[in-house]
A = this chain, B = another copy of it.
Amino acid sequence: MKKEVTTLKKIAQLLEVSTSTVSRALNNHPDISEETAIKVKKLAKKLNYMPNIFAKGFRQHRTNIIGVIVPNILSYFTSSILKEILLQAETKGYRVIISESNNDIKKEKEMLHTMLQFGVDGILMSLTKHTVDVEPILYALNQKPLILFDKVSRKVPCTQIIINGEEAAFNAVEHLINIGKKRIAILKEFEQSYNSEKRFQGYLRALKTNNIPVDEKLILSTDDISLKKGRRLTSQLISLKDKPDAIFSITDAAAIGAIQTLKKFNFKIPDEIAVIGFSNSLSSTIVEPKLTTIDQPGNRIGEMAVKYIIEEIEEPKENSTSKTIEIKTNLIIRDSTLLSI
């Protein structure tokens, strides 16, 4: 079945030169005479020569593989980041190995280990929402370039690519205030989720800036901010004596759940209760009313992640300069906050 494979040695024999010469010719080494170089390249092409990447990687201690670990590949936002990672890595001559931790910290740790064992040149990683022990990550960082994106942790001293979550939330909540809303609820995550916390900070700052008192009863947390939880938390909110007049959810999914529940109980959206989500998912334009939300450019995140990891791979610095790159988001105003008047 397998076809005879062309090696440097074979080319060398046919041309009656040494393998060193062939190797150098193919790698554009300056010492080689143009004549030889052309001759070698021609034959290599004719024989459909493909370097054995494993021999090469093994020899050079480089694999040209970037490892990526994400919590959940099914998320549209994650897919859009991965799409760009694949594209950028490919154009720069890197291959990408993807692993999914499924929000399981044990799996996350194992994957980190196999990535290292596998000899990837660098690692891009988005943490599970339960990751608190960063020891395994520090260990990996000690061996290879490593960058965190989207779901990050301050406890890891490495380059981090994130969105401007605090500011985005601030803008979203201020938008609600601008359309006259005063009792703004927030649906957020329960755990020490970095992203959730950032967005919550933005929420608090927007209220403060506009002299709106914080009402604890309007701050709801859950450990899994899904569509179903959005429904459930919204049921809680509308059974309050003092109902909210707006809901800011830190995910689109929960925001859509909120809309479903509000409609079920015949609340007018946005006149009685406005809703804002986060991430501009596909479904945000399909739900009715269309959801106002924050667009997070996954492609920019992917692009930056690849750019910086390759930089760190190709120019390793002694004193790790760990920067934080903030990607700008965009508030997209749709019917769920567009007053009909």
Question: Which residues of A are interface residues toward B (Cβ below 8 A)?
Answer: 1-3, 50-55, 57-58, 63, 65, 73-74, 76, 79-80, 82-83, 86-87, 90, 95-100, 102, 111, 113-114, 116-119, 142-144, 256, 282-283, 286-288, 316, 318, 320
Contact = CB atoms under 8 A, between A and B. Distances in A.
Which 3 pairs from chain A and chain B are nearest by CB? A50-B117, A54-B58, A283-B286
A55 B80 CA distance: 34
Given A73-B83, A86-B73, A51 B98 contact: no
Nearest to A74: B79
Contact of A74 (B1, B50, B80, B98): B80
Contacts of A63: 54
Contact of A54 (B54, B74, B86): B54
27 contacts: A1-B143, A1-B316, A1-B318, A1-B320, A2-B143, A2-B144, A3-B143, A52-B119, A53-B117, A54-B54, A54-B119, A55-B58, A73-B82, A73-B86, A74-B79, A74-B80, A79-B79, A86-B98, A86-B99, A90-B99, A95-B97, A95-B114, A95-B118, A98-B98, A282-B282, A282-B283, A286-B287
Total copies of the chain: 2
Contact of A58 (B52, B98, B111, B287): B52
A173 to B, nearest CB: 24
Nearest to A257: B286
A117 B86 contact: no
Contacts of A96: 97-98
A312 B316 CA distance: 41
Nearest to A61: B54
A288 B65 CA distance: 45
Contacts of A288: 288
A57 B283 CA distance: 44
Contact of A97 (B55, B73, B97, B114): B97
Contacts of A83: 73-74, 100
Contacts of A143: 1-3
A86 B74 contact: no
Contacts of A256: 286
A95 to B, nearest CB: 6
Contacts of A97: 65, 95-97
Given A1-B316, A80-B74, A117 B282 contact: no
A231 to B, nearest CB: 12
A3 B86 contact: no
Contacts of A102: 87
A116 B50 contact: yes
Contacts of A54: 54, 57-58, 63, 119
A29 to B, nearest CB: 21
Nearest to A90: B99
A179 to B, nearest CB: 24
A96 B99 CA distance: 8
Given A2-B143, A74-B76, A79-B73, A53 B119 contact: yes
Contacts of A119: 52-54
